[in-house]
Amino acid sequence: MTNQEIEAAWKYHNSTKHSYASIRTNPHELDWENKPLLFKIYPTLEVMRLPRDVCQTGVSALSAISNTGLGARGKAVPDLDSLAQLLFLSAGITRSKKYPGGETFYRAAACTGALYEIETYVVCGDLPGLAAGVYHFGVAEFGLRALRVGDYRQILAEATGNEPAIIHAPVTLICTGTYWRNAWKYQARTYRHFGWDNGTMLANVLAVSTSLGLPARVVMGFVDEKVNGLIDVDTKREVAFSLVPVGYVSSTPPKVTGDIPPLDLPLVSLSKSEVDYPAMREVHTASQLLAPKKIASWRRKHAKRKFAEPRGKVFPVNPPPENQLPTDAIEQVILRRGSTRRFAQAAITQAQLSIILDSATRGIPADFLDPVGTTVNHLYLVVNDVGGLPSGSYVYHRQTRALELLRNGQFRKLAGYLGLEQEMPADASVAVFFLADLHTVLERFGNRGYRVAQLEAGILGGKMYLAAYAQRLGATGLTFYDDDVVRFFSPHAEGKSALFLVALGKSA
């Protein structure tokens, strides 16, 4: 099945919806004796430890989150310290907690179920302190393992149809998704989580890159086979999901001659056995791009946001002036961020909500969003307790920075129900639902549009996390009853699909 045969995406999306009935009839139970290892480990490869000191950039988190991408104004090459900081503050372990029988490791970005199925690889030319090569980022040891020695950046340039950001990047991050590590708990719905969990991580990558003065861009248009072959992953278990070129050099990478041989490196098993969920592999395979010459035409098909003019009462989103915003640096905010487990039923201010919405939606530098500021997802809100706003349901008009009141009323209980009958969206001040017009997205991008929509939702959600914690508020990402969410926000949301949920408020 080709990328343009979009029934594959619809089949997967519809078959993995949550409903009141599906939750109660699913016999799945967690097999704790078979829980997957949270780290990918190459036991035969030596680990090159990375420096652990966190550089104090002094760049405020809100400024870094709001930035829509640094232009390439000259040479910008990360050294080993900068690369280590980028990896640590996006995918590294920031703290741990011991309990009887084990230890929980918390990472820099939020992840569904704390299962951390996203792996990171580094492809670089010669950097100060690091030789050219293809590396795997070993989270457990906080180090790099060399998979290939030499400059292989040209392979990524070819795989992306000569995307300029890739060609001129001294280093590119490859993010992959590992099916079983997340499917152990979430079964076939895991493929949605690839987008969410990769997205929250990329929100950190983009913000930290900005703080370090390094241009960065999210690239989703690439020939899957070439990228998977370069890092030699078993595509039945792990697949490349996104690329992020970081930095800029005017020169282009040297040609790579000859075939790229497989590595056939042994790995530490994730668990004693794995359960296969073919639906995930089927939708991923159906969304593959097969030839570099197809990439340019794929990129030209940008999603255009069609949004009706407000019909209800409108409330402007007016964040305070910049000199009145919280100034905590991005590295400080990331290090204290967590996923809030309990919210106090307490109000946040309209200014605090305005800061979150405005800073998170300024724009994402990505090859599928042109011009910057274009969005695939639409934000719908259940406002439980925000000073200056009536309780009710809203839709956010990003272009005019305004919230349109759809329905007045107290919907705490209903917000909890929509969030899979959990207390957090009911107790939070606001529940933000991410909905997309998948008909338009898939028509423009093919099945790969499903990856795009989920990833953008994750990046926006990750930015909201950081914007909330920059104000010492709480945030958490949640799942939901798909069709019930759409029905609640209809008729305005009619025809859209629910993709993600973030609850915001004061932590209890």
Convert the pLDDT of each residue in 209-261 to its tens digit.
999 999 999 999 999 999 999 999 999 999 999 999 999 999 999 999 888 99
Tokens of 458: 């994750």
314-505 matches 7-28+41-55+68-300 in CATH topology: yes
CA–CA gap between residue 98 and residue 240 (Å, rounded): 32
Whether the per-residue pLDDT at 22 is higher than 80: the answer is: yes
- Phi, psi (deg, nearest 5) at residue 474: -115, 160
Which amino acid makes up residue 475? A
For residue 155 the two structure tokens come to 């392979």
What strands lie across the sheet with 143-149, from one edge to the other?
48-49, 143-149, 133-138, 118-124, 171-178, 238-246
Least confident of 104-108, 342-346, 437-441, 454-458: 104-108
Question: Which of 270, 268, 241, 289 shows the shortest CA–CA distance to 118?
Answer: 241
Q: Any idea what the Cα angle at residue 404 is, between residues 398 and 407, rounded to 5°?
A: 145
Q: Which residue has the tokens 């040479």?
A: 75
The mean per-residue pLDDT over the stretch 463-471 comes to: 98
Q: Quick one: DSSP state of residue 223?
A: B
Per-residue model confidence (pLDDT) at position 306: 61
- Average pLDDT on 281-287 reads 97
Answer yes or no: are the C-beta atoms of 94 and 335 closer than 8 Å. yes
pLDDT at 506 over 90: yes
Cα 2 → chain centroid:
25
Whole-angstrom distance, CA of residue 197 vs CA of residue 459: 9
Residue 237 corresponds to which tokens in the numbers above? 């278990």
The CATH homologous superfamily for domain 7-28+41-55+68-300 is: NADH Oxidase (3.40.109.10)
296 band by pLDDT with thresholds 50, 70 and 90: confident
Model confidence at 492, in pLDDT bands (50, 70, 90)? very high
In the predicted model, is pLDDT for residue 491 greater than 70? yes
**Res. 307: pLDDT tops 80:** no
Q: 72-76, 262-266, 408-412: which has the minimum mean pLDDT?
A: 72-76
- Rounded to the nearest 10 degrees, the angle between the axes of helix 448-470 and helix 438-445 is 120
Q: What is the pLDDT of residue 1?
A: 83
What is the mean predicted confidence (pLDDT) over 265-289? 97
pTM: predicted TM-score of the whole model, two decimal places: 0.97
* pLDDT at residue 301, rounded to an integer: 53
pLDDT tens readout for residues 158-203: 999 999 999 999 999 999 999 999 999 999 999 999 999 999 999 9
Q: Are 109 and 462 in contact (CB under 8 A)?
A: yes
Query: What fold, for 314-505?
Result: NADH Oxidase (3.40.109)
Packed helices 278-286 and 7-15: angle between N→C axes, nearest 10 degrees: 150
Q: What is the mean pLDDT of the chain?
A: 95
**What does the domain layout of the chain look like in residue ranges?**
7-28+41-55+68-300, 314-505
Q: How confident is the model over 71-115, as pLDDT tens digits?
A: 767 899 999 999 999 999 999 999 988 888 778 889 999 999 999
The amino acid at 54: V
pLDDT of 374: 87
Res. 305 pLDDT band, cuts 50 70 90: low
Task: Find the mean pLDDT for residues 49-65.
Answer: 94
What's the confidence (pLDDT) of residue 74? 84
Give kind and range of the element (H or E) at residue 350.
helix 350-360
**What does the pLDDT read at residue 265?**
97
- Mean pLDDT across 340-359: 96
Percent of the chain at pLDDT > 70 equals 98
Q: How distant, in Å, are the alpha carbons of 54, 228, 391, 434, 436 from that of 313?
A: 46, 50, 13, 21, 23
The torsion angles phi and psi of 227, rounded to 5 degrees, stand at: -70, -45
Q: pLDDT band for position 304 (50/70/90)?
A: low
Q: Which of 147-151, 336-340, 354-358, 435-439 has the lowest mean pLDDT?
A: 336-340
